[in-house]
């Protein structure tokens, strides 16, 4: 969930498949059990949440590294500049906009802004989660995703940065398709070939510190595009520092992909006929429901306890089913 990984928006933190270590965190395992509250807490700190607007809380990024914060602020500024006037203010309750577990070892924020009726954008979802680890380090997940209305078949957008160690992180960056690329080759050409999205993946994977990340979740692998960036970035001996890679490589690539999404999708994309809208709406609904089912339904309770997790999940389900 991100925070929700989508904690997150897109829910890219599937079931645990191996023992967790701070240096080998993978978004294929649920958020660590040792972060969870032993019992639900009815007293969640919301005072500071009530003092700021939802977007400010999300963009504060108090636990992200400077390069990650700058990358996310770039993307949020681009969204605000290009389509901010067609997005409604966040209306989530204060205790969903900012929430934490009973011990204060896990915190999260959630920002949801819906599109106005005339906008092709259904809503944007931003979140971050911070969890203290027994090693003294911390797990930080930061994500931003966009969801389109069935008025258009244009792809969504997602970026998620999952860092469990100062020297290693996993990045998911993509414009997930909303149509079958085999049955609709013109869709592949319009959104992925003509825009040269795969060039960014190829450039990033040429770096010695970057290796492809293959999630064991077949469902997640079925959702992403052929040009999706799913990589692990890790420092090694005599290699560039991870913050340098984020600043010099990942940040400009993220900005370019966001620009492609804003130019080709958020501007209206490709309008569809009424008979196709129902198919798109059904596919979108299944995808969003699965995002909650396979990830957040288990990860959030472990991090925040049943009470807090239930409140956040209910708000997400309301957004996804609206």
What percent of the chain has pLDDT above 70? Answer: 81
Longest Cα–Cα distance of the chain, Å, equals 57
Residue 106: inside a domain, yes or no?
yes
Each residue's pLDDT tens digit, 65-85 = 999 999 999 999 999 999 999
Residue 303 has pLDDT above 50, yes or no: yes
Evaluate whether residue 116 is within a structural domain.
yes
> Domain tally for the chain?
1
Residue 79 placed within a domain: yes
141 in a structural domain: yes
Mean pLDDT, rounded, for 285-306:
82
How far apart, in whole angstroms, are the C-alpha atoms of residue 118 and residue 272?
A: 15
The answer to whether residue 151 sits within a structural domain is yes
The CATH number of whichever domain residue 116 belongs to comes to 3.40.1500.20
Burial group, residue 110, by CB count within 10 angstroms (0-12, 13-18, 19+): buried
Record the pTM.
0.83
> What's the chain's average pLDDT?
82
Q: What is the pLDDT of residue 29?
A: 40
Identify the band that residue 238 occupies on the pLDDT scale cut at 50, 70 and 90: low
Residue 28 has pLDDT above 50, yes or no: no
- Which range marks the domain in which residue 253 is found? 33-165+242-293
For residue 219, give the 3-state DSSP assignment: helix
Q: How do residues 266-275 score in pLDDT, each as one tens digit?
A: 987 788 988 8
Query: In this structure, what token pair is assigned to residue 130?
Result: 């911070």
| Residue-level pLDDT at 45 | 39
Residue 253 lies in a domain: yes
- pLDDT at position 40 is 35
pLDDT at 166: 85
Q: Is the pLDDT of residue 7 over 60?
A: no
Is 94 part of a structural domain of the chain?
Answer: yes
pLDDT-derived band at 322, boundaries 50, 70, 90: low
């Amino acid at each position: 969930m991100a925070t929700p990984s989508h904690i997150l928006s897109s829910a890219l933190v599937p079931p645990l498949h191996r023992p967790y270590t701070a240096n080998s965190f993978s978004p294929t395992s649920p958020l660590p059990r040792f972060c969870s509250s032993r019992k639900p807490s009815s007293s969640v700190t919301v005072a500071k949440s009530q003092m700021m607007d939802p977007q400010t809380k999300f963009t504060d990024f108090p636990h992200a590294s400077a390069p990650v914060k700058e990358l996310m602020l770039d993307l949020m500024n681009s969204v605000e500049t290009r389509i901010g006037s067609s997005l409604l203010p966040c209306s989530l309750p204060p205790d969903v906009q900012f929430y934490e577990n009973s011990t204060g070892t896990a915190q999260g924020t959630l920002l949801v802004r819906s599109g106005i009726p005339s906008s092709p954008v259904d809503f944007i979802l931003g979140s971050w989660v911070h969890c203290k680890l027994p090693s003294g380090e911390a797990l930080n997940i930061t994500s931003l995703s966009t969801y389109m209305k069935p008025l258009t078949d244009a792809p969504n957008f997602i970026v998620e940065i999952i860092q469990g160690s100062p020297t290693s992180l996993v990045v998911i960056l993509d414009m997930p398709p909303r149509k079958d690329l085999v049955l609709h080759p013109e869709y592949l050409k319009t959104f992925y070939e003509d825009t040269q999205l795969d060039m960014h993946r190829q450039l990033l994977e040429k770096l010695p510190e970057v290796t492809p990340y293959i999630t064991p979740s077949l469902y997640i692998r079925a959702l992403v595009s052929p040009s999706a960036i799913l990589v692990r970035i890790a420092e090694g001996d005599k290699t560039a520092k991870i913050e340098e890679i984020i600043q010099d490589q990942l940040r400009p690539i993220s900005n370019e992909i966001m620009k492609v999404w804003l130019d080709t999708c958020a501007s209206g994309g490709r309008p569809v006929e009424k008979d196709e809208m129902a198919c798109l709406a059904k596919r979108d609904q299944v995808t969003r429901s699965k995002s909650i089912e396979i990830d957040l339904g288990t990860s959030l309770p472990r991090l925040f306890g049943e009470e807090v997790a239930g409140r956040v999940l209910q708000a997400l389900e309301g957004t996804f089913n609206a």
